[in-house]
Amino acid sequence: MVNPGARPAAWLAAMALATAGAAAAAPHTAAPTGPMPAAAAPTTTQRGAPGTWHLAALRTEAAHRLTRGAGVTVAVVDSGVDRHPDLAANLLPGADLTGAGDAAADAEGHGTGMAGVIAGPGGVAPLARLLPLRTSAPGRPGDERPVARAIGYAVDRGARIVNVSRSVGPSRDLARAAAAAAARGVLVVAAAGNRPADVVVVAPARYPGVLAVGATGPAAARAPLSVAGPELALTAPGVDVRTTAPGGRYQRLSGTSVAAAVVAGAAALVWARYPQLTADGVAARLTGTAVDRGPPGRDPEYGHGALDLLRALTAPPDPNGPPAGPAAATAPPTATAGPDPATGPGPTAGPGAAARAAAWPLAPDRWALGWWAVPIVTVAAGALALLARRCRAAPADHGPDCCPAAGGAGPDDADR
């Protein structure tokens, strides 16, 4: 993992990453993208452009005939989200939990990149709303405390989905925040972590109730950078993906951060199409319709399998799955702007947490522990995780970065 305080130039020169199943593919450079008119942004109609392979793999063109994610709010817990032209229509007023500025200041570029994967013209859910929550900044790398507060803030402001494409040190507060979000019917999606800096599934992805996501490449095989572990729920495209960058630019990124953002966008589409579903029901659709890869059944490398977006949107309901509603019982309030919660209290788990936990079929081995066991599991897992990590707070794709795709883009990488 790179120094979390490093400037963008450092991560732009980060290691090259090979795409899974495509060893013969020519690498790209890791330079930042240059300015480009918003009209040149990758959309679901621009098939075959470099870095947009994931849209074709997910069959988003067909998916967007069914829904584009309108009415669903996704919180982006990251380095902030720049007011990029592609994202302006999707952005809600957010919050900066670092005390360094505002949620629209993104010197790292990571949060802006994740936002572009989720929503906007080139996103999985083009019409989903984005709630930017800044938890790190240059010189203020952040830790688990602002991330825990951000999860609580997102729940209070009406986000249905919380995307955490960052890895931080394990903590009781973070585990409690994840549990409280699940108790209130909010789906938390998190990056599993990247090799070689991570050797186990990282926090918060490792916690019960969090949808842990690994990465696949263009051949649908698990990306070599993607961490494996029993907590993994599913995998999604996460290699050489073109997305937004600060200053109206574009970048191509790789890592489980990208894969988590893809799944967050997919969850927004499912929820928009089936608004009566609970968070458990959305998660069950995503995992229950995934394409099984690796050994039969759930396994540490793919979880339940590779995301099949179109199937998740069209498959008949599972009669053995979690109850579909009533949605109103767990639906948070409509997303609104609010005061900076940097010093505000965190959420607490509600009385229905254990029942909802037991209903989620993703990881019965973890849910069976009950919420009372979270602190014990956290302490034990945290000791191992801290030994394995070189940094406590960085994007799951390491540094203020994702791993830049083994190539960055020039002024218009669609021409490359």
Q: Which residues contact 322 (CB under 8 A, 6 or more apart)?
A: 278, 280, 281, 284, 359, 360, 361
| Matching residue, tokens 């996460």 | 238
Q: For residues 111 and 80, is the Cβ–Cβ distance under 8 A?
A: yes
Q: Which residues contact 209 (CB under 8 A, 6 or more apart)?
A: 178, 179, 181, 182, 188, 357, 360, 367
- Please report, for residues 164, 221, 255, the alpha-carbon distance to residue 128 in angstroms, rounded to integers and kept in the order given: 16, 28, 22
- Please report, for residues 25, 73, 94, 128, the alpha-carbon distance to residue 272 in angstroms, rounded to integers and kept in the order given: 37, 10, 22, 9
Given 64, 78, 165, 167, the catalytic residue: 78
> Please, what is the Cα angle at 392 between 384 and 362, to 5 degrees?
60
Q: Is 412 a catalytic residue?
A: no
Q: Secondary structure of 104-143 in the HEC alphabet?
A: CCCCCCHHHHHHHHHCCCCCCCCCCEEEEEECCECCECCC
Type and span of the H or E element at 163 = strand 161-164
DSSP summary character for residue 217: -
- Please report, for residues 71, 77, 93, 113, the alpha-carbon distance to residue 89 in angstroms, rounded to integers and kept in the order given: 13, 19, 12, 16
Given 28, 64, 84, 110, the catalytic residue: 110
Q: Is 54 a catalytic residue?
A: no
- Token code pair at residue 189: 């999606």
Q: For residues 181 and 349, is the Cβ–Cβ distance under 8 A?
A: no
Given 167, 257, 308, 413, the catalytic residue: 257
Cα separation, 366 vs 371, whole angstroms: 10
> Please, what is the Cα angle at 144 between 139 and 149, to 5 degrees?
100
Q: Is 257 a catalytic residue?
A: yes
Please list the active-site residues: 78, 110, 257
